[in-house]
């Protein structure tokens, strides 16, 4: 039976091997233009994910607390006509 410590050691070792394989065999094994395009695409993807995470958290805070620019304001009572 595998213990928790053995599992964590194997997981960390596997992650290091994966990063090393990706870096030296995939990323650096191609021409520089492909590497730059890969980094640019990764940066754009990261920016979009962070932006939509920000929007989602803002909507969640607005929904739960009523804070935010789109929070409903109490309207004054209208006089009877």
Q: What is the pLDDT of residue 69?
A: 67
Q: Are 15 and 22 in contact (CB under 8 A)?
A: no
pLDDT on residue 34: 83
pLDDT in tens, 28-81: 877 888 888 888 998 999 999 999 999 999 889 888 887 776 555 665 665 666
pLDDT of residue 73: 60
pLDDT for position 14: 96
* Distance from C-alpha of 29 to C-alpha of 22, rounded to nearest angstrom: 9
Model pTM score: 0.55
40-68 residues labelled b (16+ CB within 10 A) or e (exposed):
eeeeeeeeeeeeeeeeeeeeeeeeeeeee
In this structure, of 3-7, 24-28, 38-42, the range with the lowest mean pLDDT score is 24-28
């Amino acid at each position: 039976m595998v213990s928790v410590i053995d599992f964590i050691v194997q997981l960390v070792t596997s992650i290091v091997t994966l990063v090393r394989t990706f870096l030296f065999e995939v990323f650096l094994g191609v021409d520089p233009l492909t590497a730059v395009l890969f980094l640019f695409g990764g940066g754009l993807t990261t920016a979009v994910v962070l932006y939509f995470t920000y929007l989602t958290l803002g909507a969640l805070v607005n929904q739960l607390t009523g804070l935010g620019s789109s929070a409903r304001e109490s309207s004054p009572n209208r006089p009877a006509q």
